[in-house]
Amino acid sequence: MMAETDRMRRAVIVGMGRSGLSAARHLARRGWQIAVTDSRATPPELAAIRALGAGITLRSGGFDSSLLAGADLVVASPGVALNEPIFTRAREQHIEIVGDIELFGRVADAPIVGITGTNGKT
């Protein structure tokens, strides 16, 4: 029997744009089981996410809350509103929800400085 610490971690990524692709690459490299869902029928990074491997579950044309079953983590792409029903269901199931910056910040070896605002960052 597999111990709780030995089981594969499972993440659901909500959004198949650039941030979703980056999150999928990041988690796949770390051995996570991944499911990705998007409201668009043909998301912009669908082909690139498919190319990451056959083990990734993909759902497009609507956010598929059934993917939350057994999930340890939900990654919210910045273009997806946090009031979407999939996030409500994740909260009801006590699944941690993080954004892409939080996800990557957790593995950064250096201090992180954030510059926010609409203009003047270039």
d(CA 43, CA 64) in angstroms, rounded, equals 14
Q: 15-105 sits in which CATH class?
A: alpha beta
Surface-to-core class of residue 38, CB atoms within 10 Å of its CB (0-12 exposed, 13-18 middle, 19+ buried): buried
Could you tell me the residue ranges of all domains in the chain? 15-105
For residue 2, pLDDT over 60 is answered with no
pTM as predicted: 0.86
pLDDT of amino acid 98? 97
For residue 82, pLDDT over 80 is answered with yes
Say how many residues make up the chain: 122
For residue 1, pLDDT over 50 is answered with no
Going edge to edge, which strands form the sheet with 33-37? 57-59, 33-37, 10-14, 73-76, 96-99
